[in-house]
Amino acid sequence: MYSGIDVFILLSIPGFIIAGNLMNQGGLTEKIIRFCNHLLGHIRGGLSLVNIGASMLFAGISGTAISDTASLGSILIPAMKKEGYDSSFSCAVTAASSTVGPIIPPSVPMIIAATLSGLSVGKLFLASAIPGILLGLGLLLTAYFISKRKKYPKHPKSSFKQVARGFFDTFWSLLMTFIILFGIIGGIFTPTEASVVAIIYALIIGRFVYKKLNFKNVQIVFLDSMKSSASLMILVGFANLFGWILIIEQIPQTISSEILGFTTNKYMVLLLINLLLIAVGTFMETIAALLILFPILLKVALAVDVDPIHFAVIAVLNLIIGLTTPPVGVCLFVASSIGKVSITSVSKAGFPFLMVSFIVLILVTLFPSLSLALPELFAD
C-alpha cells in the first residue's frame, strides 16, 4: 500500500485540491457565474448556458465532476427553478455540464492516468483539451436548442462595460490555469511544483486581490483539503494493493487474452473497452475505477496498437460519461438531491445531453488526431 502512494507526482493532487478550495473560498464560483451570465445570459435559455459555460471555466479550478455538480448546482439549480426552468432540466444540465471539468486541463484523473502509465502529464493535459472543449460546445448547443423549443427565458443583454468588468473579476483566477498548464508543458516546473505555485498564487490572489481570505477561512480550507486528500490517498493505496492481488492471480492476463481472443480489430477492442468503462463509471468513482482498470486495459490497447495518450483520454472520457449514465450515474443523484426531484425525471431530461456525450466519445475514439494533435504540435 505504501509503495502505491510513495510517488512524487501524486503530491501534486493535494496541492491542486488546496489551490482550488482557496479559490472557491475567495468567491471564484460566484464571479465565474456572474461573468458567464454577462456573456451568455441574453441568449434563449441563458442560465442553462451559464451553467455549462461556468463548468468549462471552473474546470481548471476543480477537476472532479462530483464537486462541480455540488458547487455549481447549489447556486444554479435554485436560480434556474426560480426563473421558470423545469426542475428536471435544471438538474440534468448541471449533471451534464459537470463532466467537462475533469477533462479540460488541469485534470486530476489525467494526473492519475499519467502516474499509472508513466506518460507525461503535460502531454495528457494537451491531449484532453480539444475533446473537453468539443464536449462543452456540444452541451451548449444542446441546451440552446432545448431552451429555444421550450421557450425558456433570457436576460437583457449586458453592456460591454459589464462584460469587461466580469472578465476582470475572473481574470486573475483563470490565469492560474494557464500558469499551471503552460508551466508544465514548457518544462518550467513539474506537476508537483506547479501545485505549490498554484497554492501560493491562490493565497496571494485571495488575500490581496479578492480580499476574502483570512487566517480563519484559510484554516478551514486546509482542513477540508486535508480530509479530501487523505481519503484519496487511502483509495490510491488500497487500489495498489488490489492491483497487486490481481497480478498475482493473473487477472490482467486473463482479461487481455479473453478480449484479444474475441477480436484483434483495434476498433472492436476499443468498443468493448468503451462499453466496460461506461458501465463501471455509472457506479464507481472515476479515480477508483482508473486505479483498478486503467493499467489492465492499457495493456490490451497497446496490444492492438492504440496510442497510450489517445487511450488515456478515451478511458477518462468513458468514466466521466458514466457518471451521468442511468440508472446509477453518481452526478445524476447529486443533482437530483439538490433539485429535490426524482432520478428518473432527471435521467429523462438528461438523455439529449448523454447522446451528445456519446457522439463526442465516438469521435474521439475514431479520430485519434483529436487527442494527439496538440501533443504532437507542441512536441515539434
- The domain in which residue 367 lies consists of 2-379
Write out the three cell numbers for 331: 452526478
Domain count, the chain: 1
The one-digit pLDDT tens for each residue of the chain (380 residues) are: 555 555 666 777 788 788 877 877 877 777 877 888 888 888 888 888 988 888 887 665 555 677 677 777 888 888 888 888 889 999 999 999 888 888 888 788 888 888 888 888 889 989 999 999 999 999 999 999 999 998 888 888 888 888 888 888 888 877 887 888 888 877 888 888 888 888 898 888 888 888 888 888 888 888 888 877 777 677 677 766 776 777 787 776 777 788 888 888 999 999 999 998 888 887 777 777 888 888 889 989 998 999 999 999 999 999 889 888 887 777 888 888 888 888 889 999 999 999 999 999 999 999 999 999 999 888 76
pTM of the full structure:
0.84
In angstroms, what is the C-alpha Rg of the chain?
Answer: 20
| DSSP code string of 229-277 | HHHHHHHHHHHHHHHHHHHHTTHHHHHHHHHHHH---HHHHHHHHHHHH
Burial environment of residue 24 by CB neighbours within 10 A (0 to 12, 13 to 18, 19 or more): buried
Residue positions counted in the chain:
380
